Amino acid sequence: MTATVSAATTMVGFGVWMRVDPAGFADWANWPNHVHFLHDAGVFQIGIGLMLLCALWWRDALAVTLTGFVFANSFHAINHALDRDLGGNDSDFWMLGLVSALAAGALVIRLQALRARRMEATR
């Protein structure tokens, strides 16, 4: 458990750094300062950390994975909206947002199924 929390904290910490201070992270990592790439990499790092933390509480791999995906992909969509001046297509936000909405719907359905299964088991 300690290793998982440590790994998650590291992922979230570096992800937040990439997202809020891409130039500072790029300088530290000796990478080119490609702002949009670092924004995207940051939210995916945060999503991985979130999945690690969720796995400590949930034993359902699909719920954990969908939670991390919905978070990371939704913020990926937001990055595309905020970074429109850096390239990409105007449709990127909407297409990514649609995929996030579908995944969020799948997550809700999965959580309802897990809840129903737990309630059935307690009868």
Residue 75 pLDDT level (bands cut at 50, 70, 90): very high
Give the SS3 label for residue 110. Answer: helix
Say if CB 26 and CB 67 are below 8 A apart.
no
pLDDT of residue 87: 81
Residue 123 pLDDT level (bands cut at 50, 70, 90): confident
pLDDT tens for each residue of 6-28: 999 999 999 999 999 999 999 99
Give the SS3 label for residue 33. Answer: coil
pLDDT tens for each residue of 35-73: 999 999 999 999 999 999 999 999 999 999 999 999 999
